[in-house]
Amino acid sequence: MSRIGKKPVAIPSGVSANIADGVLTVKGPKGTLTLPLVDDIMYAVNDGEISVKPANDTRRARAFWGMQRTLVSNLVTGVTEGYTKTLLITGVGYRATAQGTNLKLQLGYSHDVDFPVPAGIEIKTPDNTTINITGIDKQQVGQVAAEIRRWRKPEPYKGKGIKYRGEFIFRKEGKKK
């Protein structure tokens, strides 16, 4: 039994959800998100909540139960509050600036890296070493953050590179004389 799947997802005021043609659509103040429904799971939109239950007693249905409930919860949270990831840049001469629909990164390469910002994502740079990525789709925000981080991952000796806020970088000791 899924302990997460048993809990219904509350729909706050100002948010509407409906199921049509195998797709769950959630509309809120920040936008609209959709989720394709899995056949092994039953979804129900009742008064002020969305409930998720397995349609049968197969192993696949039980495995998908908690995950599908979490995906539905992410939709509701996304259209009400949105998601934000913060990246921190460490290193001499490393900096980032948001320029319209591009993010310009200077990461020690012989050229600047221009990262095109996808639709539905907003990138702000409050200072040269901080990047705030905001959007309503949790998966898309995380994917964009991972793609930016991939340009210069933090290295273990000096900690230079792009890291998530709150991420711990395991530091190694350098050469000894």
Q: Name every residue whose Cβ is closer than 8 Å to that of residue 15 and which is 6 or more positions away in sequence.
A: 26, 27, 28, 29, 76, 79, 80
Sheet of strand 41-46, all strands in order from the earlier edge strand to the far edge: 9-10, 49-54, 41-46
In the numeric block, which tokens belong to residue 124? 């702000």
**DSSP class of residue 63?**
H
The identity of residue 128, as a single letter, is N
Residue 177 reports pLDDT greater than 90: no
- Token pair, residue 58, equals 């197969």
Domain boundaries, the chain: 3-80, 83-164
Whether CATH 3.90.930.12 fits 3-80? yes
Per DSSP, 154 falls in state: P
Same fold, 3-80 and 83-164: yes
- What CATH number matches the domain at 83-164, 3.40.50.720, 3.40.50.200, 3.40.50.360, 3.90.930.12? 3.90.930.12
Interval 112-151: pLDDT, tens: 999 999 999 999 999 999 999 999 999 999 999 999 999 9
